[in-house]
Amino acid sequence: MAKLVLDNIAHSYDPNASNPVFALKQMSLSWADGGRYALLGPSGCGKTTMLNIMSGLVTPSHGKVFFDQSEVTRMITEERNIAQVFQFPVIYGTMTVYENLAFPLKCRQFPEDQIDKKVKEVSEILNLHNFLDNRAKGLTADQKQLISLGRGLVREDVAAILMDEPLTVIDPDLKFRLRRKLKEINDKYKTTLIYVTHDQNEAMTFADNIIVMDQGEVVQAGSPKDLFERPQTTFVGYFIGSPAMNLYECSANSENQISIGSNTFKVHTNINNTHSKDLKLGIRSEYITVESKLSDNSLEADIIEVEDFGNYKLITASFDSVKIKAKVKRELDIPSEKVILKLPAEHCCIYEDNKLI
Amino acid sequence: MPKLYTFLKYFFVILWACFVIAPFLWAISTSFKDFNSVTGGATYIPWLQFEPTLDGWSVLFKPGSQGGINIIGPYFNSIFVTLTASLISIVLGTLAAYALSRYTFKAGFVKNNDITFFFISQRIMPPVVLSIPFFLFLSTLGLLDSLAGLILVYIVLLMPIAVWIMVDFFNRVPKEIDETALIDGCNPFQAFFKVVLPNSVPGMLVAGLFCIIFGWIDFFFAFILTFTKVQLLPVKIVALNSSITPWWSLSAAALVSVAPLIIVAFIVERYLSKGNLSGALK
């Protein structure tokens, strides 16, 4: 177990090109020992590259990697003592389930009795104990992925367990149980877990800290609450949350007032110092309330659609030819044509050039 | 509809099987005939239509002094040369193919694909182009008319086949398997020998089958590079030909020489049907 530090890391797969394309743009990040992290971002945003840099499968073209105090940038993978689970199950098809799980320990020459104890313990956790003597090749896709996961878990002393969308092929029920198991393992052994996903729900429910990436950059790192309430960029606002954050182009009127078309809104952000013309107001649909009469920060909108999701209703309406979505309690009576919606000033985020101010 | 499909499927399979088996049946029956039975019109059923005899077969095993050709020595020579050259080609070819599949080579404009093509290109030129260089090469090394010389030449001829098949095979083996082995604590050599190689047996069997076939059937180089001390089976069988074509002993020789390939194909076929890495990933 160790603290992982990426110091001014950047990576291009062709660094000698005249105009190199960076899969990972320059960044510094540190991962606390025993932390539970999620790396979240759309496909191709550099998550896997970052993981491979930590495990040593990719040597970064710029910057340094540290495990605790020691630099490991050029250290080969097998010496790093790190576990990595890939998106699709990777099993050693010619070996049995037991041999698969024992393999990382055998490679590191652990004593037989310790291997046996650990393999049995991990196989119990993953419900693989009935298949230990079976050939790994004949198992189902999710069982195979459990083996991949198990090989990551048999070593207690790993610097970190890196998981690259490991639960993609696993059915939803087992996915839920496994996520809980991983949390338990993290609590018990204090192993640093880094979990790559593009599913925000998975990230939100699994991790203490979420790192959101986009186009090779870290756009925000923080707790699920931070990411939800104060998205640092419009990308995070759009990417996190379901439905995505409502975002509107607006103009500054005075210190704490903006306008969207003919509607004006008070905000808690000081917008006197903004220079860019690219100003946006963002608000989560969860914070929009339905009112009975117009007041400050409210607007009248034409209802387009009301969807009943069982535990809440989602109103889609339009004002000044832009759409607005509001998530409200399902007991609420919603008028059929026009609705008055309030955008509370404390929940309004203002973005200049797509960055929160 | 499915019934019609099944019917057509079996119909064409049986038709094709007959087409393949017929020459063998013809050769088997001919090998037990004598001169009169072969030249006296088409006959098929032994004892009823012709009297079977072992004359055709005995020629193959009788020494030259008794009018035979004694194929036993050349037969074992062929087996030894083919197996040794195939084995070495598979070992070297597999290593080369793994490197070409997993590592990036670059020397000027030459890249991995060019190197792979260089290997294959050895098989593109007609063998006759290689005959003089090979002859001079073996003569310089003092290996003309020797088993070692033939093995050397056959390795050159067979390795491209092994490299070609194995590069394609390794390209289809996900590199995550190697990476997982590295993460689990293997060094690159251990990853290859402990993880990649056991998974590559099907590919190596296919490559081995092709090497054995191409090594076994070669007549040209065996004919040019050997004289009296060492002879391989194809060259020896040709020695059977005379002014009267001995169809009966040629048929027997054909059956004897094709037998090892049929045996190898049967053994390898069992692995080919399950021979893929489908279980390794996904």
Tokens, residue B26: 């013809």
ipTM associated with this complex: 0.76
pLDDT of B281 strictly over 70: no
Per-residue confidence (pLDDT) for residue B172, from 0 to 100: 86
Task: Sheet containing A257-260: give its strands across.
Answer: A251-254, A257-260, A263-266
Chain B residues with CB under 8 Å of A154 CB are none
User: Smallest Cβ distance to B185: which of A55, A107, A148?
Assistant: A107
User: Smallest Cβ distance to B185: which of A90, A94, A108?
Assistant: A108
Per-residue confidence (pLDDT) for residue B132, from 0 to 100: 94
pLDDT of B251 strictly over 50: yes
Q: If you average pLDDT over residues A186-198, what whole number do you get?
A: 85
What are the φ and ψ backbone dihedral angles of A254, each rounded to 5 degrees? -145, -165
Tokens, residue B213: 């076939």
Q: Chain-wide mean pLDDT for chain B?
A: 89
Assessment of whether the complete model's pTM goes beyond 0.80: no
Per-residue confidence (pLDDT) for residue A1, from 0 to 100: 66
d(CA A133, CA A144): 14
Q: If you average pLDDT over residues A244-258, what whole number do you get?
A: 86
Which part of chain B is CATH 1.10.3720.10? 72-273
Chain B residues with CB under 8 Å of A136 CB are 279
User: Smallest Cβ distance to A107: which of B179, B186, B277?
Assistant: B186
pLDDT of B278 strictly over 50: no
User: Smallest Cβ distance to B183: which of A84, A137, A141?
Assistant: A84
Is residue A127 within 8 Å of residue A181, measured between CB atoms?
Answer: no
Residue of B nearest to A137 (CA): B279
pLDDT of B276 strictly over 80: no
Per-residue confidence (pLDDT) for residue A113, from 0 to 100: 94
When scoring A58, A92, A118 by the number of chain B Cβ atoms within 10 A, the one with the most, hence best to mutate, is A92
- CATH no., domain B72-273: 1.10.3720.10
By C-alpha distance, which of A303, A249, A248 is closest to A276? A249
Per-residue confidence (pLDDT) for residue B277, from 0 to 100: 39
Indicate the pLDDT class of residue B274, thresholds 50, 70 and 90: low
d(CA A296, CA A111): 72
Provide the shortest C-alpha distance from residue B26 to chain A (in Å).
44
Tokens, residue B102: 């997993």
Ramachandran bin of B246, using left for φ above 0, alpha for ψ from -120 to 50, beta for the remaining angles: beta
Q: Verify whether the Cβ–Cβ distance B186 to A84 is below 8 Å.
A: no
- CA A281 from centre of chain: 24
Per-residue confidence (pLDDT) for residue B142, from 0 to 100: 94
Which of B157-178 are b and which e, b meaning 16 or more Cβ less than 10 Å from the residue's Cβ? bbbbbbbbbbbebbeebbebbb
Per-residue confidence (pLDDT) for residue B280, from 0 to 100: 39
Contact residues for B190 (Cβ-Cβ < 8 A; gap 6+): A107, B181
The fraction of chain A above a pLDDT of 90, given in percent, is 29
Residue of B nearest to A162 (CA): B183
Per-residue confidence (pLDDT) for residue B18, from 0 to 100: 95
pLDDT of B145 strictly over 90: yes
Q: Considering only residues B232 and A1, tell me which one the structure prediction assigns the higher pLDDT.
A: B232
Q: Considering only residues A16 and A83, tell me which one the structure prediction assigns the higher pLDDT.
A: A83
Indicate the pLDDT class of residue B282, thresholds 50, 70 and 90: very low
Tens digit of each residue's pLDDT (9 = 90 or more) over B96-140: 999 999 998 988 899 999 999 999 888 888 889 999 999 999 999
Per-residue confidence (pLDDT) for residue B135, from 0 to 100: 95
Q: Verify whether the Cβ–Cβ distance A151 to B198 is below 8 Å.
A: no
pLDDT of A182 strictly over 90: no
Q: Which helix H or strand E contains A305, and what residues bound it?
A: strand A298-308
Which of A291-327 are b and which e, b meaning 16 or more Cβ less than 10 Å from the residue's Cβ? eeeeeebbbebeeeebeeeeebbbbbbebeeeebbbb
Is residue A140 within 8 Å of residue A147, measured between CB atoms?
Answer: no
The fraction of chain B above a pLDDT of 70, given in percent, is 96
pLDDT of A168 strictly over 90: no
Q: Verify whether the Cβ–Cβ distance B182 to A88 is below 8 Å.
A: no
Query: Which domains, ranges and CATH numbers included, belong to chain A?
Result: 4-233 (3.40.50.300), 242-356 (2.40.50.140)
Task: Sheet containing A217-222: give its strands across.
Answer: A83-85, A161-164, A193-197, A36-40, A209-214, A217-222
Is residue B256 within 8 Å of residue B60, measured between CB atoms?
Answer: yes
Tens digit of each residue's pLDDT (9 = 90 or more) over B48-101: 888 888 988 998 888 877 878 889 999 999 999 999 999 999 999 999 999 999
Q: Considering only residues A1 and B208, tell me which one the structure prediction assigns the higher pLDDT.
A: B208
Packing angle between helix B247-273 and helix B2-31, nearest 10 degrees? 140
